[in-house]
Structure 1
Amino acid sequence: MKDLKLKGSILRDVGSLARAVNTINDIKYITLDLHKNQYIFLTRICENEGISLKALSIMLKVDKTTTTKAVQKLIRDGYVTKEKDEVDARVFRLFSTRKSKAVYNMIIDEENRAIDKCFEGFTTAEINTVQKLLQKMNANLAPDWYETKNYKGGVHDSE
């Protein structure tokens, strides 16, 4: 067996950070009946009224089955509505409800609190650098993700 060495822990660190934030938020939002990162789906729908299931999956880099299950629960709980697209009946559009709009600001406040906590002691320049580097890493990996998920490389609303 060859002794391989990991080139760096950045992906493990980012994953650990994301899991910590999601665990904290899942516990905080249980009283809202939001479980298993559903708040992530809810915020993106509130911010992108009329988004398709496929576009939401691509935005969040999750498979369509995960998106469908999360959205179905959000619909059952009155957070989201789903309507057929006026042009393409195969596509469903997602919309926030009064209920989701009522909790959206609370979720964003908590997200901002977590951002502030993560960046304690950072300069503005360091924060901007981290943001730019993570965006660049995401852009570098995106083609592999699209290929793995058999997407042609972008959001096309015919599903």
Structure 2
Amino acid sequence: MAEILREIGMIARALDSISNIEFKEYDLTKGQYLYLVRICENPGIIQEKLAEMIKVDRTTAARAIKKLEENNFIQKTADADNRKIKRLLPTEKGEYIYPMIKKENDYSNQVALKGLTEKEAEKLVYLLEKVRKNIEVDWEFVKKGNKRQY
């Protein structure tokens, strides 16, 4: 069987390492840029939805969000209808950094797809989305405290 998960893991770790190094000058480390991008693209998102979107547990998300808030990249605001719900919004500083993160992402995509035809790139995206959806089923299952049977 093909070792696709090893390849995906190596790609993800290499890109994460590059981003952590390149964004260090902006005080964005340990994948915080992922959270900032999602908040900029979904202003007003709640922490639980953000964690689900990035596929991390709530504690990991809470740590990253706290750091982003401490470094003035985002702010929490109370929901208009339910004051207990905190909505996440980018600050001016966060909005300023967002285009640079997006530019890095676009460049990394371009590098990753170098040598592939447009049809191959589309097929790759289609197949990876299919793989992600398969994994999401187990992720949801395990997240709820269940154990997979292998």
- What TM-score, normalized by structure 2, do the two folds share? 0.93
Find the counterpart in structure 2 of residue 44 from structure 1. 38
Residue 58 of structure 2: aligned partner: 64
Deviations 1:117-142 (A, max 9, x none): 01111000000001011111111121
2:115 matched residue in structure 1: 121
Of 74-83 and 135-144, more deviation after overlay is shown by 135-144
Equivalent position amino acid for 2:52 in 1: I
Which residue of structure 2 aligns with residue 89 of structure 1? Answer: 83
Moved over 3 A (4+): none
Asked if residue 134 in structure 1 is aligned to residue 128 in structure 2, the reply is: yes
Match of 2:16 among 8, 22, 26: 22
Q: Which structure shows the higher helix fraction?
A: 2
How many residues are aligned here? 145
Q: What one-letter code is carried by the residue in structure 2 that aligns with 1:61?
A: K
* Residue aligned with 1:134, SS: helix
**TM-score computed with the length of structure 1 as normaliser:** 0.88
Unaligned runs of 5+ in 1: 1-6, 152-159
Which runs of 5 or more structure 2 residues have no equivalent in the other structure? Answer: 146-150
Q: How far has the Cα of 1:84 moved from its partner? A: 2.1
Identity %: 36
Deviates more, 1:136-145 or 1:10-19: 136-145
CA distance in 1, matches of 2:103, 2:17: 16
- Output the CA distance in 2 between the equivalents of 1:10 and 1:136: 13
**Cα distance in 2 between the residues matched to 1:64 and 1:84:** 19
Shift in Å, 1:147 = 1.5
Correspondent of 2:73 among 72, 79, 92: 79
Q: Which has the higher contact order (CA 8 A, sep 6+)?
A: 1
Partner Cα distance (1:103, 1:82) in 2? 18
Q: What's 1:32 paired with?
A: 26
Q: 1:88 deviation in Å?
A: 3.0
**CA distance in 2 between partners of 1:107 and 1:68 (Å):** 21
